[in-house]
A and B are shown apart, each in its own frame.
Chain A
Amino acid sequence: MSDKLEHFVSVDPFNPQEVEELSPEQERFYMASQWRMMWWRLKRHKIAVAAGAVLAVMYLSIFITEFIAPYDLLNRHTDHIFAPPQQIHLFNEGSFEGPFVYGLDYNLNLETLRRDYTPNPNRVQKLRFFCHGDKYEFWNLFEADLHLICPAEGGTFFFLGTDRLGRDIWSRMIYGARISLTVGMVGIAISFLLGLTIGGAAGYFGGWVDNIAQRSIEILRSIPELPLWMGLSAAMPEDWSAVTVFFGLTIILGLVDWPGLARAVRSKLLALREEDFCTAAALMGAPPKRIIARHLLPNFMSHLIASATLSIPSMILAETALSFLGLGLRPPVTSWGVLLVEAQNFQAVAVYPWLLFPAIPVIVTVLAFNFFGDGLRDAADPYK
């Protein structure tokens, strides 16, 4: 036995480019588009993905609000005013019953003048699923009465309690999501439109256009946001319909928000317009609108989207704050801010703390948007 290796000759045909050629796996990686790389990078950010999933669920829920909510938005239960949250149980006296709640016994306490409700262990009310309950108009299109969860026949299911008119807070919160979540979206769309147009024009043309844009941005920024919002929303006439007020409010939110975006667009454009590809496009006769929209903006669109994600929560908060102060949306339009108006009366909150529940979705949404936006911002530049 010699320790020499056996002489080896490959029978495959000789390929001189073998070293440079990429394996399909490598090719997939190197040829990936920017958006695909951003997606890969975002996926690595576990918290951001989780936050994105939470947001997706919340936004999807607004399409089937009526189906998810156990009760109708305005349905009053006059014999269950200020009823406490009913806990969901699975076992009754050791035996498995499936999800059920105990019925509430009502008793007016004449000493404290409070309504006392006590769960009665003898009244087991099994929850029903995919059942017929309150009638509703699905998106104002057709009538239906199918619900995901309903109380037992003749029973009640107030997951988060009821308010001073006996309306189910959980259902009202689900309905409120529809308004609260869209306010931010519509507002950011308006702000985006304004910011891109004004910032784009300022950065591309420079000169007096830039000067005017810069000055207006400075002026808008020197008025603190909230008083400005308050002033503008107080300016909405009292006799506007609820829907008009909703759109008025989103326009106000957009009007106050655009300067930050316009600034970012302007500074990026100032640098980019000196690039050769921009000159080339101009020489080939592309009009400014095309150069800005087609050649310049895509360069930092991902950054803009990431920063927009971070400013949606401030709009949601603004709506909540304004509605809470009574300057924003008004009933019958129901948002989380409108629901929190009930919590303004502090005597009531001390006795009926479940009136504060609508604050939770606000905090969850804002947190989720912040985490998701943070992940997006890191992913926006996948070449780093």
Chain B
Amino acid sequence: MLNYFARRILTMLLTLLVVSALVFVIIQLPEGDYLTSYIAELESQGEAVDPQKIAYLKEEFGLDKPIWLQYLSWIGGVVQGDFGRSIEFDLPVTDVIGEVFLFSLILNFSIIVFIYIVAFPIGVYSATHQYSWGDHGLTFVGFIGLATPNFLLALILMFLARKYFGTSIGGLVDPSFENQPWTFDKILSLLEHLIVPVVVIGTSGTAGMIRRLRANLLDELHKQYVVTARAKGLPEGKLLLKYPLRMALNPFIADIGNLLPQVISGAVIVAVIMDLPTTGPVILDALRSQDMFLAGSFLLFVSLLTVVGMFISDLLLAVLDPRIRLEGTRE
């Protein structure tokens, strides 16, 4: 087990290292760098370009050095917990993304909880009432949820909310709470604003999860031990909960690895549309202005989240399902 841990963590670190290099190269691919776009922006506004400031920026962020040196100094800092400075905000990256990242975590976590809470009873119902009207109806709704792109869903919901309730559902907290210390009211307002993005981003994941749970449970329900248990007179509810359901639960845990990238992707674009203070809008801006330390750290964080999520799901699976052994016996 320890051996497995060590190997797994080592590959995780290596993966992240390669990802960081990849990300840095991708961000640096466009012609020019932050300075050229910064100068172009100033010139288009008719403002004077201060050569001293340019020189200072060049010096401060090492923009005149070759790209591999820039990368090495950045990654060297990352290893020590220093993610560099955002050029655009002229602040340490950790300061820029601190609260934003917290919001993102809250949002992504709530989406996954939402998916579980909704998918579980519906999946069980669909499997135990196979081919009933309820099953067909839920499957159909699930299909639509799977196929409707979530940013379009967000657009449409925002439009409806605006039209019929006259409220804006953008943002994560009420404007009056912005830059205020955390109080009970602010948390309530946060929860209120969380509902729509969670539902919007969660639908596609929920639909997929329902289909998988239904298929798995159906497989189990037709096995002989279920017939045996029923023949022995076990009450239906106890029978279901005690054996087949536990066997069919694997996708719930194994899917965290698949769900996380999907949820994060969905959250990025929905956040841009609904103007949520999460990673989405910041990452978009950083990519546009080639603020490479900010964008790079972001992409790295997001990948870290995914890799760690997959790792945790593998571990949980091994703990909960004794049939799964992590150390493959390769002969």
Residues of A bordering B, CB below 8 Å: 218-219, 221-228, 230-232, 234-238, 313, 317, 320-321, 324-325, 327, 340, 343-344, 346, 349-350, 353, 356, 359, 362-363, 366-367, 370-371
Q: Verify A237–B149 contact, CB threshold 8 A.
A: no
CB pair B30–A224 under 8 Å, yes or no, is no
**Interface contact A237-B30, CB-CB below 8 Å:** yes
Give A343 to B272 CA distance when docked, in angstroms.
13
Pick from B15-23, B120-128, B175-183, B184-192 the stretch touching chain A: B15-23
A147 to chain B, nearest CB (A): 30
| A353 contact set on B, CB distance < 8 A | 159, 163
CB pair A230 B147 closer than 8 Å: no
Interface residue B297 (Cβ < 8 Å from any Cβ of A): no
B261: contacting residue among A224, A235, A238, CB under 8 A: A224
How many angstroms between the C-alpha atoms of A235 and B155 in the bound complex? 27
**A231 near B27: Cβ-Cβ < 8 Å:** yes
Query: Are B31 and A237 within 8 A (Cβ)?
Result: yes
* B265 and A226 form a contact (CB under 8 A): yes
Question: CA A251 – CA B306 in complex, angstroms?
Answer: 24
How would residues 143 to 173 of chain B score, 1 for a CB under 8 Å from any chain A CB and 0 otherwise?
1101111011001101100110000000000
CB B134 to nearest CB in A, in angstroms, measures 19
CB distance from B141 to the nearest CB of A (A): 13
Interchain CB contact under 8 A, A227 and B283 = yes
- Other than the given A324-B151, A346-B162, A367-B144, 16 more pairs (CB < 8 A) read A223-B299, A224-B262, A226-B269, A227-B268, A230-B284, A232-B26, A235-B26, A321-B149, A346-B158, A350-B162, A353-B159, A356-B156, A356-B159, A366-B147, A367-B143, A370-B147
- Cross-chain contact B265 with A227 (CB below 8 angstroms): yes
Bound together, the chains give a CA A226 to CA B29 distance in angstroms of 18
Please, what's the 1-or-0 string for B292-312, where 1 marks a CB less than 8 Å from any CB in chain A?
A: 000100110011001100100
Question: In the complex the two chains form, is A227's CB within 8 Å of B299's CB?
Answer: yes
Given A223-B306, A227-B302, are A362 and B155 also a contact pair (CB < 8 Å)? no
Give the Cβ gap from B80 to chain A, nearest Cβ, in Å.
Answer: 23
- CB-defined contacts of B156 to chain A, threshold 8 Å: 356, 359
Please name all residues of chain B whose beta carbon is closer than 8 Å to the beta carbon of A230 when the two chains form the complex.
Answer: 268, 283-284, 287
Among A320, A321, A362, the most chain B Cβ lie within 10 Å of the Cβ of A321
Interface string of B272-285 (1 = CB under 8 A from A): 11000000000110
Q: Decide: A363 and B148 in contact? CB cutoff 8 A.
A: yes
Q: Which residue of B lies closest to A216 (CB)?
A: B18
Contact flag A235-B307 (CB < 8 Å), given A224-B265, A324-B151: no
Nearest 10 A/B pairs, CB to CB? A226-B265, A235-B29, A224-B261, A234-B287, A224-B264, A367-B147, A231-B26, A317-B149, A359-B152, A224-B265
Q: How far is the CA of A236 from the CA of B273 in the complex (A)?
A: 23
Say whether B325 faces chain A, with CB atoms less than 8 Å apart: no
In the bound assembly, the distance between CA atoms of A222 and B266 in angstroms comes to 15
- Footprint of A on B, CB under 8 Å? 15-16, 18-19, 22-23, 26-27, 29-31, 143-144, 146-149, 151-152, 155-156, 158-159, 162-163, 260-262, 264-266, 268-269, 272-273, 283-284, 287-288, 295, 298-299, 302-303, 306-307, 310
A227 lies within 8 A of B264 (CB): yes
Q: Number of residue pairs across A and B with beta carbons under 8 Å? A: 118
Q: Are B27 and A235 in contact (CB under 8 A)?
A: yes
Mostly, the A contact residues are helix
A370-B272 contact in complex given A236-B30, A349-B159, C-beta closer than 8 Å: no
Cβ of A356 and Cβ of B26 under 8 Å apart? no
Query: Given B147, B159, B268, B288, which contacts A363 in the complex, CB threshold below 8 Å?
Result: B147
* Chain B minimum-CB-distance residue to A371: B143
CB distance from B156 to the nearest CB of A (A): 7
Counting chain B CB atoms within 10 Å of each CB, the highest count among A221, A222, A232, A327 belongs to A222
Can you name the residue of chain A whose Cβ is closest to the Cβ of B298?
A227
Contacts of B147 in A (CB 8 A): 313, 363, 366-367, 370
Are A222 and B159 in contact, CB atoms less than 8 angstroms apart? no
16 contacts between A and B (CB under 8 A): A222-B15, A222-B307, A223-B22, A223-B261, A224-B264, A224-B306, A226-B269, A231-B27, A231-B295, A321-B151, A324-B151, A353-B163, A359-B152, A359-B156, A362-B152, A363-B152
Q: How far is the CB of B62 from chain A (nearest CB, A)?
A: 21
Indicate whether A222 sits within 8 Å of B31 (C-beta atoms), given known contacts A231-B26, A320-B149, A350-B163: no
Residues of B within 8 A of A236 (CB): 30
Specify the chain B residue showing the minimal Cβ separation from A343.
B155
- Looking at the complex, which one of B15, B29, B284 makes contact with A325 (CB distance below 8 Å)? B284
Residues of A within 8 A of B149 (CB): 317, 320-321, 362-363, 366
A residues within 8 A CB of B151? 321, 324
- How many angstroms from the CA of A236 to the CA of B27 in the assembled complex? 10
Contacts of A344 in B (CB 8 A): 273
Query: In the complex, A238 Cα to B290 Cα: how many Å?
Result: 13
Distance of A367 Cα from B142 Cα, bound (Å): 12
CA A320 to CA B149, docked complex, whole Å: 10
